[in-house]
Amino acid sequence: MQTMQKSLDEIYQENLQFWDKAWQRVSKPHKELPKLPYIHELTRKLKKYQVKKVLDLGCGSGWLSIFISKYGFDVTGIDASKPAIDLGKIWAEEENLNVNFLACDLLNIPFKENSFDAIVCNSVLEHFRFDQAKIIFETIHKILSEKGFLFGCFDKVGTGKGEYFELEDSTHIYTDEIRKGMMLRNYSDEELKTLMKDFDILSFDKNSYGSRLVWTRKK
Ligand SMILES: C[S@@+](CC[C@H](N)C(=O)[O-])C[C@H]1O[C@@H](n2cnc3c(N)ncnc32)[C@H](O)[C@@H]1O
């Protein structure tokens, strides 16, 4: 394990550069849906609770935003990587769907209070330090409407091969060629529940890969 010689800000910027480079290598939207059974249940719940406006946090090239928008929801997808957002825009245009894709950092979400009825987030929180995750959850709480919903899939990560050094809060910073700069942090169940202290947890399930599928409602 190497020791940390860079500032937290430099490390964070390098993480953003990692994502930009990763998405720059993708030349067209990958349209095959991941095999995640929960997504069908998710749209059923959004319909049941008469959700209209949905925000997809860290949407990548937009598969979840696109999927949800096909059910008639008003969807906004945000991601720090402009190349990813550009792919989402191309995809939405090709399918004649009206999804609002926007490049922005989750630490600087530009929406006002009560902007969304539901927020979804698939495999994104794992790329933030714990102190940053707290900021994101505070923002999510603010921009959700009264009794708005939050659905998150939080993966079990950091157990595979790879070279990295660790920050004080156990965030891994990868140094190997493939993931150089990427931040990755494994969140325990308890930490997730702490982050969601201002939400009622409606269900907290684990799939066979150890991912936590969490469905919550703003208190
Ligand atoms: C593992 S991918 C998941 C993408 C998508 N949610 C999915 O399910 O395929 C993580 C995503 O988080 C984005 N991301 C990383 N750091 C971010 C940040 N600070 N702000 C916004 N998006 C970020 C990356 O660009 C990447 O698209």
Kindly report whether the global pTM for this prediction surpasses the value 0.85: yes
* CA 58–ligand 1 middle distance (angstroms): 4
Supply the mean pLDDT for the chain.
95
Atom of ligand 1 nearest to the CA of 81: 25
Protein residue whose Cα sits closest to atom 4 of ligand 1: 60
The residue that leads in pLDDT, 203 or 161, is: 203
Question: Is residue 215 within 8 Å of 49, Cβ to Cβ?
Answer: no
Across residues 115-121, what is the average pLDDT? 98
- CA dist 153 and 39 (Å) reads 10
Task: Please provide the size of the chain in residues.
Answer: 219
Nearest to 133 by CA among 182, 192, 80, 215: 192
Partners of 120 in beta bridges = 56, 151
- pLDDT tens-digit readout, 176-189: 999 999 999 999 99
Q: What is the pLDDT of residues 29-45, one digit of tens each?
A: 989 889 888 899 999 99
pLDDT of residue 1: 47
The angle formed by the CA atoms of residues 78, 81 and 82, to the nearest 5 degrees, is 90
Q: Write the CA distances from 209 to 31, 206, 212, integer angstroms.
A: 23, 8, 9
Q: Which domains does the chain have, with CATH numbers?
A: 38-155+187-218 (3.40.50.150)
Higher-confidence residue of 3 and 110: namely 110
Residue nearest to atom 26 of ligand 1 (CA): 60
